[in-house]
């Protein structure tokens, strides 16, 4: 990892992490702490679509047809946004592939890549204790035998089995897709990993101390 002299210095960061790892939350905490820009490709896509821009129209067409947005389009969107972030940034949701990472290297120098790792098994057991009410409020059951929890709204919070399976599937797909990317950044000596199974505050602290230690 490149040595970071001061927290006021410009930093170009990439945040990697599976769904449920808390990437978005950590990116926002980091931006508040060190005054860099949060670049979320998901947010940018939604903004372009809402604004009906030329790029937005293209992106919407792919998504409406159930297709992935091609690298060339995503890279173009990131390039535009990077030009507005002269004081440093944290990229969230990009790159997703080695090809995208190579394109990014041609656009800008990346200082560090933070991998927020989650364990599928632990996440699955954490999710097994989650009870969700129809009002949206979530609870953590004290043990697996507690099937439902009385919600303040009068409803009952229960486990959503399909949800749990979907997220575990998404995590394993993410992990196999992103493995080459992790290797790519490891070879560059820019990658470090934090344990995403800790509390939000602890993940932020370990991330911060690894950057500024
Ligand atoms: Zn409720």
205 class by beta-carbon count within 10 Å (0-12 exposed, 13-18 middle, 19+ buried):
middle
Q: Which CATH number goes with the domain that contains 101?
A: 3.40.50.300
Residue 26 lies in a domain: yes
Q: Which residues are catalytic?
A: 23, 96, 130, 160, 170
Q: 146 CA distance to ligand 1 centroid (A)?
A: 16
pLDDT in tens, the chain (213 residues): 444 444 556 899 999 988 767 888 899 999 999 989 999 988 888 888 999 999 889 999 988 888 878 888 899 889 988 988 888 999 998 998 899 999 999 999 999 999 999 887 877 777 778 888 988 888 889 988 999 999 999 999 998 766 667 777 777 878 888 889 999 999 999 999 999 988 889 999 999 999 988
User: Bridge partners of 132?
Assistant: 138, 158
| Contact criterion met (CB below 8 Å) for 27 and 38 | yes
Q: 161 CA distance to ligand 1 centroid (A)?
A: 18
pLDDT recorded at residue 118: 84
Look at residue 9 and give its three-state secondary structure.
coil
Report how far residue 142's alpha carbon sits from residue 21's, in angstroms, rounded to the nearest whole number: 22
Residue 157 lies in a domain: no
pTM listed for this prediction: 0.76
Tokens linked to 200: 């939000």
What is the number of structural domains in the chain?
A: 1
Residue 146 lies in a domain: no
Report how far residue 101's alpha carbon sits from residue 131's, in angstroms, rounded to the nearest whole number: 38
Residue 72 lies in a domain: yes
Residue 184 lies in a domain: yes
Q: 148 CA distance to ligand 1 centroid (A)?
A: 11
Q: 132 CA distance to ligand 1 centroid (A)?
A: 8
106 class by beta-carbon count within 10 Å (0-12 exposed, 13-18 middle, 19+ buried):
exposed
Q: 142 CA distance to ligand 1 centroid (A)?
A: 18
> Residue 192: which domain range?
11-118+172-212
Residue 154 lies in a domain: no
For residue 95, whether the previous peptide bond is cis, meaning omega lies within 30 degrees of 0, is yes
Residue 86 lies in a domain: yes
| Contact criterion met (CB below 8 Å) for 113 and 17 | no
Task: Please list, in sequence order, all residues whose beta carbon lies within 8 angstroms of the beta carbon of residue 137, skipping any fewer than 6 positions away.
Answer: 151, 152, 153, 157
pLDDT recorded at residue 77: 86
Q: 147 CA distance to ligand 1 centroid (A)?
A: 15
Residue 196 Rama label (left phi>0; alpha psi -120 to 50; beta): alpha
Residue 18 lies in a domain: yes
Helix (H), strand (E) at residue 117: strand 112-117
């Amino acid at each position: 990892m490149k040595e970071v002299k001061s927290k006021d210095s410009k930093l170009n960061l990439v945040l990697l992490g599976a769904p449920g790892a808390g990437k978005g939350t950590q990116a926002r905490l980091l931006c508040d702490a060190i005054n860099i820009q949060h670049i979320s490709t998901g947010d940018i896509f939604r903004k372009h679509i809402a604004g009906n821009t030329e790029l937005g129209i293209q992106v919407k067409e792919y998504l409406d047809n159930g297709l992935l947005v091609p690298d060339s389009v995503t890279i173009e969107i990131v390039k535009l946004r990077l030009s507005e972030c002269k004081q440093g940034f944290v990229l969230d949701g990009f790159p997703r592939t080695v090809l995208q990472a190579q394109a990014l290297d041609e656009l800008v120098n990346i200082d560090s890549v933070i991998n927020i790792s989650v364990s599928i098994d632990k996440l699955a057991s954490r999710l097994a204790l989650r009870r969700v009410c129809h009002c949206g409020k979530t609870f953590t059951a004290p043990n697996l035998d507690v099937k439902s929890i009385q919600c303040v709204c009068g409803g009952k919070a229960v486990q959503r089995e399909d949800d749990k399976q979907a997220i575990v599937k998404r995590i394993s797909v993410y992990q196999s897709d992103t493995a080459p990317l992790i290797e790519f950044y490891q070879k560059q000596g820019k990658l470090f990993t934090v344990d995403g199974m800790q509390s939000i505050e602890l993940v932020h602290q370990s991330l911060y101390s690894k950057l500024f230690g």
